Structure 1
Amino acid sequence: MPEPDGKFYHTWEQAISILRSDPLHQTLVYDAYLTADLTGNCRRFAESREFAEVIRLIEVYRPGSRDVLDVPAGNGIATFAFAKLGLNVVGVEPDPSSSVGRGAIATVLNSEGLKARIVDAFGEKLPFEENSFDVVYVRQGLHHAQDLKAMLSEYARVLRPGGLLLACREHVVDDYGPSLQAFLDSQVDHQLYGGENAFTLADYREALSSAGLTILAQFGPYDSMINLHPNTEESLLDKVRDSRPGRLLGLILPRSVVNRIGMWYLRRSNRPGRLYSFVAVAP
């Protein structure tokens, strides 16, 4: 929790170190690819259904892409995965940390003999020329923006004509009062370092359009493998059937009907911080 004066006194690196050492949060840390096994995190992400879906979307909407910007690159899971596929990837990460930042990226790349350029910068001000990339990949990054419109304008600027923006797993709230506060209160890491945030769906969409990007697809919380992680379609349906309403409905309805009802309900949930992903193209 914040200190009595309302301030947060842990860095992101310190917050993750605390969570790694707490037995209560081992699953959270593992699912977030933030364990101390840096190379293991990257290998798991590269082999995940989530990343497979990212590659599928790139092949559908921007086939033949070679130059990829990964921003923010964090501890390197996506930079590693793109580099392992032989793509020319640049990872942008302002945190120098050897545990969760640029130092971690260098470690995992070296562990596999992979090459990628690692740059110290923020999304709102990128040190690249216009028309530099085929794809800008953002995983859980837009909701950290200090200036969402400025950040998306930068992403649009560095994309080549027809280039693809994939903004994945962005937290959505209904308002900047009770809904945002409920989301922040639910985030264990936020209680330690205070860096979480979320925007409304309307504000994400308006900022994308303001940057000159055309939204090609929008995926809600349960519409894509990208947003499902750490669940899978199978595990989510298991949870639906094992819930109390699911068990009661299962007494009178076929399993397939229970599955459809459960997913219908989940897709209409307005849980604060629910995940959305966006596919957009530069003019």
Structure 2
Amino acid sequence: MVRLYTKDLNIGYGERLIVKDLTASIPDKQITTIIGANGCGKSTLLKAITRIISHQSGTVILDGENIAKENTKLLAKKMAILPQTPESASGLTVGELVSYGRFPHQTGFGRLTKKDYEVIDWALEVTGTAEFKSRSVDALSGGQRQRVWIAMALAQETEIIFLDEPTTYLDMAHQLEVLELLQKLNREQERTIVMVLHDLNQAARFADYLIALKNGEIVKAGTCEEVITQEVLRDVFHIDALIGRDPRTNKPMCVTYDLVRNAEQEIRQPLLSAAGAL
């Protein structure tokens, strides 16, 4: 089942086009991970789908409706996004930050109701951050802080959660902690998770569906077995990868890799050709 998809999406900044004629579907109640080299349009795509930025042409459809025409508060009840480097006002407690997730559900003077407090406590409990409720967000470790931000997204009570590189700046243990939490939310609560990851093996391990981008276009989309291949990784990342199997999950994994010989020339040649045509 697909509730969310894009059709012929073009996104850019000024005259520079970042994402080009992109048509993609996000499987419902699954974990979708977007991979690709730096600057390929991953974060730009996430921002456009969640309406943080506008797209130049094309459409993003959610539940049969064009999100460009959707009421902002209604849209915030359907999808939440955790940006790459979330920032909160200095001095906020964990409980206060998580309460911000209730904004789309508030009416009148915006006072928190009994239901709001119940949802906040539930989000803290699910993410294992209830013990930090009265603590300042600034006093938490990176992994703890990331779980609190996820709690805020959960408090928003959306069925779809977007995360832009949720493991950035975290050590290996905290990266695994965050990804296992997202997997648990997907499996136990059927939340649709869409995220950008740089680590290919983490993407393969935790994703049900992968979208590989290059220069704002989809090179390959599908299961981990379909996307984590020597051919796709060569095209997307310019690496010669040895693909094996994760002994614990039996999913494909990148065992080792080398730069493709003459990869730099392959990258530069289109630029040189374009310059020569001027």
TM band (smaller chain): 0.3 to 0.5
**TM-score when scaled to structure 1?**
0.33
Relative CO higher for 1 or 2, CA cutoff 8 Å, sep ≥ 6?
Answer: 2
The structure with the largest helix share of the pair is 1
**TM-score when scaled to structure 2?**
0.34
The structure with the largest strand share of the pair is 2
